[in-house]
Structure 1
C-alpha cells in the first residue's frame, strides 16, 4: 500500500531535471530498494545461460546424469528466485510511480490554492487539467528508470564480465555495440522532445477550449452558436491530431529500433560465436551461454532505450509543472514586510480606484451597466486582485490573508458547489446546528429547495449542483454565505436567477438578518436597491454618484434608465419569462465578467479558482441558470419550517 504524504514537501522548481531529482530524493529509500531489486533481477536473468552451459558441458556431453540433475535443479531454483525478484521489483516501482504522481498532484493543487484569484490570470483551466492528467502520468513513468534502468546498466557490465571469461573478442564487441545503439537512438530522442513540446502545447489549448464549451453548452445551443464553437473545437482537434502523428512517427521509430537493433546485435554476436565454436575456439556449451547472455541482454538494452524515451517525455511534462510552480501571486506589503494588524473594530472598506466604500453596519449597493465593473470592485474589496484598498487605517493587502478571509467573505453567484449532501454544501467546514441552518435558509428563501428534496438536508447534491435548478443553486449559495455570518459580506448579484417575488423577500430578509453587519451587494434590481443604505452608481468603473435609491432615481438619468430596464425585465420574469432569456438581462453579465466562478463554494471564503473563458463562458452559465428563474422562485411569504430542513 502506498501511504500518501500529508505534506508533499517543497519541490525544487529551478528546472525540470531538478524537479525530477527532487521526486527521487524524497523517496530515496524506495528508489534504492527498487534499484537493488532491479539489479538483482537483471543479474538473475544472466544466470540461466551460465547454468545451462554447465549442464550441457558437465552433464550431457560428459554423460553424467547426477551432474545434469544438479545443474537442472539449480536452474529451476534460479527461475523461481527470479520470478520473486521480478514481482518485488514491479511492486516497488509501482509504488515509486504512484508516490511521484500523488506528490506532483499535491504540490500542483497546493500551489493552485496559493495563487488563488491570480490562477486564471496566469494559466488556463485546460493547462491545469492537462498537468493533472497526462503530465503527471509521464513524470511518474520517468522514474521507472531508477529501477530497471539502473539494473540494465549493472546487467550490461555483468554480461560483459561473463563474456570475457568466454572470449575477450566477444566482450569487446558487446562493449562497443551497445553504445553504438545509443548513438543511433540519441538524435531521435531530441526530435521527440521537440515534437512532444509542440503536442503538449496544443493539447493544453484544446483542453481549455473543451472546458469552455462544456461549461456554456446549454446557452450556446440556445443562441445558435454551438455549431460555430464545435467547428473551432474540430479544427483544433485536427491540428492536435497532426501534431500527434508527428509524435507518433518519431515514437514508432524509437520503439522499432528498441526492438530491432538489439535483435540485430544478438544475431551478429551469435554468428560470431558460432564461427568461433566451429573453429573450436569455444565449446558448444559456451556457444549456448553466449547466445543466452546476449539474448538476456536484449531486455536491459530495451530498458535503456525506453528509459531514454521516458526521460525525454518526462522532461517535457516536468517543464510544464515547473513553469506552473514558478507562478507567483500578487505580493503585497504583507508578504514583503510582514502582515499588519487588522482593525480590531468593524471598519470601512474603501476602494480608491472606484471611489466606493462599504461602511460598517450598513447595506451598500453597487450599480453599473456593466456587471464586470462592479465585480472588479468586489474582487478588490475582497483582496482577490492587487489594489490600494484600505480597511480602516491600514491597507487591505498589508493584512495577512488569514485575517482577511476570516472576516471578509466574497459570495460569488457562480461559487462552485461540491458533490455531497445539501447540509455539507451549506455548512462546509463550519459547525452549525439545525436552527442556524434553518435561519439561513429562511433568509435566502430556500426552504422550498430543502422541502422539495427527498431526504431534506441529507439529500445528495451533484458536483456543481447539477441536480438543482439555477435559482435553487443561487439561493443555496446565498444561504451558505449567510450561514458563515462574516463581519463583511460582499455578494455578487445574489438574486439574478430568481423571480421578482422571491427577490423582494430575499432583499427584505437579508437587510434584517445583516443588521449591524457590513454588507455590500452588486445588483440593478430596485427591489434590493430601495433597501440599501447607500447606492453607488458606477460609470466606466468609477462612482459617478452616490446616495439613496430614491435620490439617484431623481437626479441621475443614466441610473434611472438602467434601473427602469431592470424593472421591465423583472416584470417579465415574474410573468413566467426567465430573466436570463431576455436581451441585456442582468442575469447574463457581459464577457468581461467571465471567469469569476468561485472554487470554495458560498460561505467558504477561500481562494477562488476562476474560469478562463475569454468569451464569456461563465456569463453564459449565469444566463443558463437564470432560465429557470420563473419556475423555481419561492414565494415571498414562505414560512420557516425547521422540521422541513431537518
Structure 2
C-alpha cells in the first residue's frame, strides 16, 4: 500500500516531535531488535491500528455469514421479517467495514510516517556525530539511499501491522464458522490457506536475496553519480566526461539487470497471489456444491462458503505482503544499523577536567604555539600541512594531541571542543534558506550583530544585492553567488558565531587583492583579544597578524612577527613573497 503524508499527518508529526526527534539509542544487533525498538516507541498508534484492523477485517469476514443466514432464513424459508433482520445486520457490518477501514488507514499512515521519519532522525544523528568516518566506511550512495529509499521500507512494516493483525483474527473467526457448518469443507479451507502460503515462501526467499543485491547496485550507482557531479568541473577541464559517462552507463546497466532479476521473482509472487487463491476458491466451490447436492449444506451455507473462500485470499495476500515487507525491512534495517555501528572518529571523552575558555593553543606534533588572544598566521611550504594542523586544532576527523590552556582536546567532550574551537575551511557550505539563517547557524543572533559580521567580512555587497536583505533567499549551495561571495559569507558566519578559538583556512583565496587587504584589517579588529589562527601565505593577511608560525615538512621551524620573518628568514620570504623582491 502506498502511503503518503498529508497536511494533518504532518501536523500530527509536529505534535509528536519531542519523542521522534530525540529517540533513545537504536539497537545495532539485529533487524528484529530494530523493529522491536521502533514498535515500543510508537506502541499507542500500533495498538490503535491493531484494534481497528481487527474490527475492519472481522466485519468483512462476517459479511458472507450474514448473507448466507439471510438467504436461508429470508429467501429459502420465505420469512420477510428474518430477511429484514439480516439485512439490518448486513448494514451494520457495512458500517463497521467503512468506519473501521477509515480508522485503520489513519493509524496505518501514522505508523508509516513515524517509522520512516524516525529512521531519518537516527540516521541524521549518526551522520552528524560520526564525523568523516562515515565517508571512509560507507559509499555516499548508501547514505543517500537510507533517506530516499530505506526509510520507506522501514515505515512500510509498521504500516502493514494493522492489516496483518486483522488478517490473523479474521482467519480464526472464519475457521470457527466453517467448522461449525461443515468439518470437511472447513478443513479444506483452513488447511489449504497455510499450504498456499508455504508455496509462496518458495518464491519469497530468493526474492529477498535479489532485492539485497539490487539495493547494493543502486547504492553504487548513487555514489558514482554523486562523485561525478561533485567533480564535474574538473572532469570537463581534463576531458574526462566521456570516461565517467561510460562508467555511469555501465553501472546503470548493472542496476537494470539486478532489477530484472528482482522483477521476475516479484512477478511470480504477485501472479501466485492471484492464481493460487483463485484455484483454491474453485476447489472450495466444487466441494461445497457436491455437499449441497448431497444435502449436507444449505444453499445459503454454500454462498457463505464461497464468500469465506473468496475472503480467505484477502488475509492470505495480507500475510504475504507482511512477509514481503519484512524482507524489505530486513535489508533496509541492516543498512541503517551498519551506519549506526560506525564508531565516531572523534569519540566523546568524559568531562573530567574543566573546559578552558582561554589559554595558549599548542600542537605538540608540529611544535606550533598559538598565543591566547592573538591573531596567529600559519605559513607552510605545503598547503596540506597547514590544513592538517587546522584539523588537529579543531579535532576534526583526527585524533589530536593539541592542548588548549594546557588541557588536551582529546580529554574534552567533543561537544565542548565544538563549542570552543571553530574551523572554517575555504569551501564554505551554504544551504537553502534566508541569509539570516546562513549567518546565525541555528542560533538566535541580533540582526545588528549579523550585519557587523557581514561588514567585517566585507560582504555588504552580497547583502545589498538581496532585495529583502537578511530575509533574502540563498539557493542551495549558494548557486546564485560567485566563489568569492560564498567565501565571504562563510567568513561572516564564522565571525558571527564568535567562538573563543577561530581557525581559518585560506579565508581569502577567492577574493581580489584589494578586498583581501581590507578583510585582513577588519579581521584583526573584529577578533581583537580572542584567539584566531589563519592558515595562509598571503602577505596582505599576514601583515595584520600578531604572530606567525612557519611550518617546513609539518614542523614549526620559525616564529615571530611577519615583518621580522620576511627580513630574517629566506624560506619564509620565498613562500610569502613568491619570488618577489626581498624588500
TM-score by length of 2: 0.91
C-alpha distance in 1 between matches for 2:304 and 2:443: 71
Any idea what the Cα deviations from partners look like across 1:527-559, whole Å, max 9, x if unmatched?
223433443343444445444445655676665
Range with bigger deviation, 395-404 or 94-103: 395-404
**Structure 1 residues 274-283 or 429-438, which shifts more?**
429-438
Residue aligned with 2:131, SS? helix
Partner Cα distance (2:580, 2:235) in 1 = 26
Aligned residue in 2 for 1:74: 89
Instruction: Report the secondary structure of 1:357's partner residue.
Output: strand
Give the corresponding residue for 1:9.
24
CA 5–243 in structure 1, closer or farther in 2 if over 3 Å, else same: same
Work out which of the residue numbers 464, 471, 489 in structure 2 matches 1:451. 464
Q: Secondary structure at the match of 2:130?
A: helix
Counterpart of 1:234 in structure 2 is 249
Q: Distance in 1 between matches of 2:381 and 2:282?
A: 79
Give the deviation of 1:508 after TM superposition.
Answer: 2.1
Q: Which moved more, 1:132-141 or 1:507-516?
A: 507-516
Give runs of aligned pairs for residues 22-421 of structure 1, distance below 5 A.
22-330=37-345, 335=349, 337-343=350-356, 346-384=358-396, 385-421=398-434
Contact 1:412-1:494 within 8 A present in 2 as well: yes
Quick one: structure 1 residues 405 and 214, their matched pair in 2 at CA, closer, same or farther if it must change by over 3 Å? same
Bigger mean CA deviation after superposition, 184-193 or 32-41: 184-193
| Alignment coverage as a number of residue pairs | 565
For 2:515, the equivalent position in structure 1 comes to: 502
Structure 2 equivalent of residue 469 of structure 1 = 482
Provide closer, same or farther for how the CA distance between residues 468 and 567 of structure 1 changes in structure 2, counting only shifts above 3 A. farther
The answer to whether the 8 Å contact 2:57/2:170 transfers is: yes
Measure the CA separation in 1 of the matches of 2:312 and 2:372. 77
Structure 1 match to 2:6: none
Q: Against the structure 1 CA distance between its residues 191 and 353, is the aligned structure 2 distance closer, same or farther, given a 3 Å change threshold?
A: farther
User: Which range is displaced more, 535-544 or 468-477?
Assistant: 535-544
Flag the 1:34–1:436 CA change in 2: closer, same or farther, 3 A.
closer
> What's the counterpart of residue 616 of structure 1?
none
Q: Determine if contact 1:446/1:479 at 8 Å carries over to the other structure.
A: yes
Between 1:69-78 and 1:217-226, the stretch displaced more is 217-226
Q: Residues 479 and 567 from structure 1, CA distance in 2 versus in 1: closer, same or farther, beyond 3 angstroms?
A: farther
Shift of 1:406: 2.6
Aligned to 1:613: none
The answer on whether the counterparts of 2:108 and 2:160 sit within 8 Å (CA) in structure 1 is no
Contact (CA 8 Å) 2:372, 2:531: kept in 1 or not? yes
Q: Provide, for residues 63-93 of structure 1, a one-character-per-residue CA deviation record: whole Å limited to 9, x for no partner.
A: 2233223322322232222111111111111
Partners of 1:318 and 1:163 in 2: CA distance: 40
User: Is contact 1:270-1:291 (8 Å) kept?
Assistant: yes
Q: Which has the higher contact order (CA 8 A, sep 6+)?
A: 1
CA contact (8 A) 1:524 1:566 kept: no
Distance 1:370 1:247, change over 3 A: farther
Q: CA deviation at 1:338?
A: 3.6
CA 547–188 in structure 1, closer or farther in 2 if over 3 Å, else same: farther
Establish whether residue 538 from structure 1 lines up as the match of residue 551 from structure 2: yes
Give 3-state SS (helix, strand or coil) of 1:519's partner: strand
Q: Distance in 2 between matches of 1:114 and 1:355?
A: 29
Cα distance in 2 for residues equivalent to 1:433 and 1:331: 32
Aligned residue number for residue 580 of structure 1: none
Give the TM-score of the pair, scaled to structure 1: 0.82
**3-state DSSP of counterpart to 1:147:** helix
Alpha-carbon distance, 1:178 to partner: 1.7
Aligned equivalents of 1:331 and 1:437: distance in 2?
Answer: 31
Partners of 2:247 and 2:433 in 1: CA distance: 35
The equivalent position to 2:36 in structure 1, one of 11, 16, 21, is 21
Q: Secondary structure at the match of 1:116?
A: coil
2:55–2:96 Cα contact (<8 Å) kept: no
Distance 2:233 2:163 in 1: 50
Other-structure match for 1:436:
449
Structure 1, unmatched stretches of 5+, are 569-646
Q: CA-to-partner distance for each residue in 1:120-149, whole Å, 9 max, x for gaps? A: 334343322211111000011012342111
Q: 1:144 touches 1:307 (CA, 8 Å); kept in 2?
A: no
1:363-413 CA distances to partner (integer Å, 9 max, x unpaired)?
Answer: 222234543332221111112221211122221121233332232211222
Report the Cα distance in structure 1 between the residues aligned to 2:250 and 2:383, rounded to whole angstroms.
33
Between 221-230 and 503-512, report the one with greater CA deviation: 221-230
Distance change (3 Å), C-alpha of 1:526 and 1:341: same
Question: Is residue 258–residue 306 contact of structure 1 (8 Å, CA) maintained in 2?
Answer: no
Contact kept, 8 Å, 1:390 with 1:396, in 2: the verdict is yes
